[in-house]
């Protein structure tokens, strides 16, 4: 997917588009200064949401990369923002996720009601696959703590966010091909 080339522009465009639709029925009855003020407030709120979501995302990345094995199905009381996962949406062989600076910029789209958002982050994902223990060599490799093959793949991390109690949390995360 290459529809967005700049996250800031993307958000601004979406915001302006949605802002225009919302603003149209009100325009006749409300003074322009008030509209402008509301628009600025809405824009500010959206920018704050995006910033908060980025914070959640970065916290999640730090969390993921500090784990020996990514197991996102397990809630973590010490990191409340991560406690709202809906099952094991991620590939459990993921060992690390890093921003793919050669890929498309991050994109965060906040829904009009301000309670949901979707993030798209291009990543370099280190995948670990266990070698099947179907022979003596593989069994011995596992017995010594190995028996895995790691490779790095470019993927898009699609994350759904929910605003719960005024705070953003990850509701679902999944990888898609670039």
Unique residue bearing structure tokens 């759904």: 160
Applying CB under 8 A, which of residues 68, 77, 78, 87 lies at the interface with other proteins? 68
Segment lying near other proteins (by CB under 8 A), choices 11-19, 87-95, 133-141, 154-162:
133-141
| 74 binds other proteins per the rule CB under 8 A | no
| 21 binds other proteins per the rule CB under 8 A | no
CA distance 112 to 46: 9
Applying CB under 8 A, which of residues 132, 164, 167, 176 lies at the interface with other proteins? 132
CA distance 150 to 83: 28
Taking the complex as a whole, the smallest distance from the CB of residue 135 to other proteins amounts, in Å, to 4
Applying CB under 8 A, which of residues 28, 31, 32, 136 lies at the interface with other proteins? 136
Q: How many residues of this chain interact with other proteins, rule: CB under 8 A? A: 21
89 or 131: whose CB is closer to other proteins?
Answer: 131
| 148 binds other proteins per the rule CB under 8 A | yes
E-only strand ranges, 47-166: 94-99, 107-110, 116-130, 148-164
Contact, 53 vs 168, CB < 8 A?
A: yes
Bridge partner residues of 162 (DSSP): 116, 169
- Among 94, 89, 176, residue whose Cα is nearest residue 130: 94
List interacting residues with other proteins (CB under 8 A).
68, 131-141, 143-151
């Amino acid at each position: 997917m290459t529809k967005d080339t700049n996250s800031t522009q993307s958000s601004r465009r979406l915001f302006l588009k949605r802002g225009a639709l919302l603003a149209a029925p009100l325009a006749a009855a409300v003074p322009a200064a008030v509209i402008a003020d509301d628009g600025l407030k809405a824009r500010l709120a959206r920018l704050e949401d995006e910033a908060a979501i980025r914070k959640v995302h970065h916290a999640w990345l730090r969390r993921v990369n500090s784990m020996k094995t990514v197991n996102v199905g397990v809630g973590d009381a010490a990191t409340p923002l991560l406690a709202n996962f809906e099952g094991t949406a991620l590939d459990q062989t993921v060992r690390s996720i890093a921003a793919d600076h050669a890929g498309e910029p991050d994109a965060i789209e906040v829904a009009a009601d301000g309670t949901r958002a979707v993030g798209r982050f291009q990543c370099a994902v280190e995948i670990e696959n266990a070698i099947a223990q179907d022979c003596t060599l593989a069994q011995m490799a596992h017995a010594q703590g190995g028996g895995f093959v790691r490779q790095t793949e470019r993927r898009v991390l699609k994350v759904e966010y929910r605003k719960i109690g005024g705070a953003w949390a990850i509701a679902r995360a999944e990888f898609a091909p670039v």
